[in-house]
C-alpha cells in the first residue's frame, strides 16, 4: 500500500515548503505540491513539519547482556516515539562486541527486534579494558565506528595504534574522553559550586579536555577521523574549534542536558547523575555557542537506561546515566528554538543532517528515491514530560515534569509508520 503525506511543510534545501510526499516500497516516490491520491492511503498532517528522521549517534540499548535495563525492542520503540529513525548503539554489552563473533550476538538481536535502524559500534579494545586492541578489521564492515564509551583509552600508544588502524579501515574513532588520573575517587557531580555547597566530590573538567587535547595531537599524526562523545566543557569546545580551523578530521557531539542545565540546577536525585557531569553555566554557554558556530556537529542523548533501583541512590549512590530519546526534541525546541537562542535549522542539522554525513549513514534528504525515513513534528503540542509514560524501560531523566510546546507526531522508518500521535489524524 502506498502512502501520501499531505498538508505538511517539508524541510527542503534548508527551509520549509508546503509539499505532498508519496511513499511506496520503503522509499520516497515524489515530492511535489498537490500530488494525485490514486488509491493511496492519505495521511493529513495538519500543518505539521516533515523532516528527515532524527539520528542519535550515542545510545545504549543494553542488549545483549543487560536486558533488565533496556532491550532493543524497548529502546527502539523509545527512539521512534522521539522521532528517531536511526540510532548508533554503544558497545557496553555482554559480551562486548570486540570480535566478529561477539558482535554477531548483537546483530542477531537487532535483526530480530529493532523498530528503527540500529548501527552498532565495535569496541576499540578487548572487553573495553584498554589493553589489547579489539578485532577492528573483522568488525569494520558491520559497525559505524569504534568506541570504548564509558571509559577513556588511557594509553596514548594504544590510542595511536587504534587510530592508525581505524584510518586504514576508513572508520572513525568515537571517543569517550576521560583521563582517569585526574579523577577523584567517589566523584558524583561537576567540581563546581554545587559540589562545594553540598560537600560532594567533584569531577574536574580537565579530566575531559586533557584527553581531548591528547587525542587531537594523535589525529594530527595519524589522519584518523575522530568524533568526540558528549563534550561538556568550554575547554573541549575551544580545542575542537581550533582543530577544525586547522583542517583536522574532527567532529563532536553534546547532549541536551549539557545544553539546557548547569550544576546550579542539580537535585540530589539519581536522574541528575551522568558521566560527564552537568557542568557550570559558563560551560553551558560555551556549548550553545559551539552549536551555533558549527563547532558542535551533533546533539546526541547518550540514552543510558538503568533499573529504578540502580538510580535510587541519589547523587552519591546512583549509577551514571540518564534517558532522553523520548523527550530530547521537545525540550531542545522549547528551551532553545522557541526562546530564539538557536534557529530551528541549526537544531535540525544537529539532529538530522550532520549525523548522517559524519557516519556515512543513508537518508537525510527528502527527495525521490531516498529512503522514507521521516519525522513529523508538531510545534503546537503543549504538554509535560512524563517519564512514567516512556516506552523505554529507563525512567531517569532530569527533564521529568518540564513543560514543553512541541513533540514528534509521527515517525516513519522504511516507509512504515513506527510511531503516530498526529493531531486529529485522518486516513482517507
- The domain spanning residue 407 has which CATH number? 2.30.40.10
Tell me what pLDDT residue 272 has. Answer: 98
Q: Is 61 exposed, middle or buried (0-12, 13-18, 19+ CB in 10 A)?
A: buried
- Mean of the pLDDT values across residues 222-247? 98
Q: Which of 20, 135, 215, 302 is catalytic?
A: 302
Do residues 405 and 271 both lie within one domain? Answer: no
* pLDDT at position 84 over 50: yes
What's the whole-number mean pLDDT along residues 311-321?
98
Verify that 9 and 114 share a domain, yes or no. no
CA-to-CA distance for 107 and 85, rounded, in angstroms? 17
pLDDT band for position 38 (cuts 50, 70, 90) = confident
User: Any residues with CB less than 8 A from the CB of 309 and at least 6 apart, and which?
Assistant: none
Q: Is residue 365 part of a domain?
A: no
Tracing cell 498526529 back to the chain, one arrives at 422
Alpha-carbon span 25 to 2, nearest angstrom: 8
Residue 292 has pLDDT above 80, yes or no: yes
16 with 142, same domain: the answer is no
User: pLDDT (tens digit, 9 = 90+) per residue, 201-213?
Assistant: 999 999 999 999 9
pTM given for the model? 0.97
Q: What is the pLDDT of residue 428?
A: 39
Going by pLDDT thresholds of 50, 70 and 90, the confidence category of residue 424 is low
Measuring CA to CA, which residue among 85, 47, 22 is closest to residue 406?
47
Q: What is the four-CA torsion angle of 136, 140, 145, 151, rounded to 10 degrees?
A: -20
257 neighbors 322 (Cβ within 8 angstroms): yes
Do 87 and 29 belong together in one domain? no
Cα–chain center distance at 115: 17
Three-state secondary-structure class, residue 196 = helix
428 within domain boundaries: no
Neighbour count for residue 352 (Cβ, 10 Å): 27
Count of beta carbons in the 10 Å neighbourhood of residue 343: 12
Q: Contact 371/26 with Cβ under 8 angstroms? A: yes
User: If pLDDT is split at 50, 70 and 90, which confidence band does 290 have?
Assistant: very high
Q: Are 24 and 415 in contact (CB under 8 A)?
A: yes
Residue 425: inside a domain: no
Q: Which residues make beta-bridge pairs with 383? A: 404
Please tell me the predicted confidence (pLDDT) of residue 327.
98
E-strand spans in 95-138? 117-120
The verdict on 169 and 197 lying in the same domain is: yes
Q: Is residue 8 part of a domain?
A: yes
Q: Please check whether residues 383 and 275 belong to one and the same domain.
A: no
pLDDT band of residue 305 (cuts 50, 70, 90) is: very high
Question: Which helix (H) or strand (E) element contains residue 202?
Answer: strand 202-203
Among 26-40, 170-184, 229-243, where is mean pLDDT lowest? 26-40
In a domain, 44, yes or no: yes
pLDDT digits (tens, 9 = 90+) for 252-285: 999 999 999 999 999 999 999 999 999 999 999 9
Whole-angstrom distance, CA of residue 213 vs CA of residue 193: 25
- Which residue in 156, 159, 109 sits closest to 136, CA to CA? 159
Q: What is the largest CA-CA distance in the chain?
A: 68
pLDDT at 227: 98
Q: How many helices (H) and strands (E) does the chain have?
A: 13, 19
**Is residue 311, in this structure, part of any structural domain at all?**
yes
Same domain, 310 and 413: no
Is 213 in the same domain as 96?
A: yes
19, 58 in Cβ contact below 8 A?
Answer: no
Residues of the chain with pLDDT > 90, as a percent, come to: 97
Q: Which stretches of 35-92 are assigned E, i.e. beta strand?
A: 41-44, 49-52, 54-59, 84-89
Identify whether residues 202 and 320 lie together within a single domain: yes
pLDDT value at residue 295? 98
* Residue 135 is among the residues annotated as catalytic for this protein: no
Instruction: Using pLDDT thresholds of 50, 70 and 90, give the confidence band for residue 200.
Output: very high
Grid cell for residue 255: 547532549
- d(Cα 361, Cα 356) in Å, to the nearest integer? 5
Q: How many domains does the structure of the chain reveal?
A: 2
| Residue 46 shares a structural domain with residue 58 | no
Alpha-carbon span 93 to 84, nearest angstrom: 22
Evaluate whether residue 300 is within a structural domain: yes
| Cα(243)–Cα(251) distance, integer angstroms | 9
- Does the structure show a pLDDT above 60 at 427? no
Whether residue 293 is predicted with pLDDT greater than 50 in this model: the reply is yes
Domain region containing 410? 3-50+370-387+400-420
Specify whether 408 is located in the same domain as 341.
Answer: no
Residues near 285 by beta carbon (within 8 Å), at least 6 away in sequence:
234
* Residues forming beta bridges with residue 9, ordered by sequence position: 18, 49
Tell me, what CATH number does 204's domain have? 3.20.20.140
Asked if the structure places residue 17 within a domain, the reply is: yes
The answer on 14 and 130 residing in a single domain is no
Amino acid at each position: 500500500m502506498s502512502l501520501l503525506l499531505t498538508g505538511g511543510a517539508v524541510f527542503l534545501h534548508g527551509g520549509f515548503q508546503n509539499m505532498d510526499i508519496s511513499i511506496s516500497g520503503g522509499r520516497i516516490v515524489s515530492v511535489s505540491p498537490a500530488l494525485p491520491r490514486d488509491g493511496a492511503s492519505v495521511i493529513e498532517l495538519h500543518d505539521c513539519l516533515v523532516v528527515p528522521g532524527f539520528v542519535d549517534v550515542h545510545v545504549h540499548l543494553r542488549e545483549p547482556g543487560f536486558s533488565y535495563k533496556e532491550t532493543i525492542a524497548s529502546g527502539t520503540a523509545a527512539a521512534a516515539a522521539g522521532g528517531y529513525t536511526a540510532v548508533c548503539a554503544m558497545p557496553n554489552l555482554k559480551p562486548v562486541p570486540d570480535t566478529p563473533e561477539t558482535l554477531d550476538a548483537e546483530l542477531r538481536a537487532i535483526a530480530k527486534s529493532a523498530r528503527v535502524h540500529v548501527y552498532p559500534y565495535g569496541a576499540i579494545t578487548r572487553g573495553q579494558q584498554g589493553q589489547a586492541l579489539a578485532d577492528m578489521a573483522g568488525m569494520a564492515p558491520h559497525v559505524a565506528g569504534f568506541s570504548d564509551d564509558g571509559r577513556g583509552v588511557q594509553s596514548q600508544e594504544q590510542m595511536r595504534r587504534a587510530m592508525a588502524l581505524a584510518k586504514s579501515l576508513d572508520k572513525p574513532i568515537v571517543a569517550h574522553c576521560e583521563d582517569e588520573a585526574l579523577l577523584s575517587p567517589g566523584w558524583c557531580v561537576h567540581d563546581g559550586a554545587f559540589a562545594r555547597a553540598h560537600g560532594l566530590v567533584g569531577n574536574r573538567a580537565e579530566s575531559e579536555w586533557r584527553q581531548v587535547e591528547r587525542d587531537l595531537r594523535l589525529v594530527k599524526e595519524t589522519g584518523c577521523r575522530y568524533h568526540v562523545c558528549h563534550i561538556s566543557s568550554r575547554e573541549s569546545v575551544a580545542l575542537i574549534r581550533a582543530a577544525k580551523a586547522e583542517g583536522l578530521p574532527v567532529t563532536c557531539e553534546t547532549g541536551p542536558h549539557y545544553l539546557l542545565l548547569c550544576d546550579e540546577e542539580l537535585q540530589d536525585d539519581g536522574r541528575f547523575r551522568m558521566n560527564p557531569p552537568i557542568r557550570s553555566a559558563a560551560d553551558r554557554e560555551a556549548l550553545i555557542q559551539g552549536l551555533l558556530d558549527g563547532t558542535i556537529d551533533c546533539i546526541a542523548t547518550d540514552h543510558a537506561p538503568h533499573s529504578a533501583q540502580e538510580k535510587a541512590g541519589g547523587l552519591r549512590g546512583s549509577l551514571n546515566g540518564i534517558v532522553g530519546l523520548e523527550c530530547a526534541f521537545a525540550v531542545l525546541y522549547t528551551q532553545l528554538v522557541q526562546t530564539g537562542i538557536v534557529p530551528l535549522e541549526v537544531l535540525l542539522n544537529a539532529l538530522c543532517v550532520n549525523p548522517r554525513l559524519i557516519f556515512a549513514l543513508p537518508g537525510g534528504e527528502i527527495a525521490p528515491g531516498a529512503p522514507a525515513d521521516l519525522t513529523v513534528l508538531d510545534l503546537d503540542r503543549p504538554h509535560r514530560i512524563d517519564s512514567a509514560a516512556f516506552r523505554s524501560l529507563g525512567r531517569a531523566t532530569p527533564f521529568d515534569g518540564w513543560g514543553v510546546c512541541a513533540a514528534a507526531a509521527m515517525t516513519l522508518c522504511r516507509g512504515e509508520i513506527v510511531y503516530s500521535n498526529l493531531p486529529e489524524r485522518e486516513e482517507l
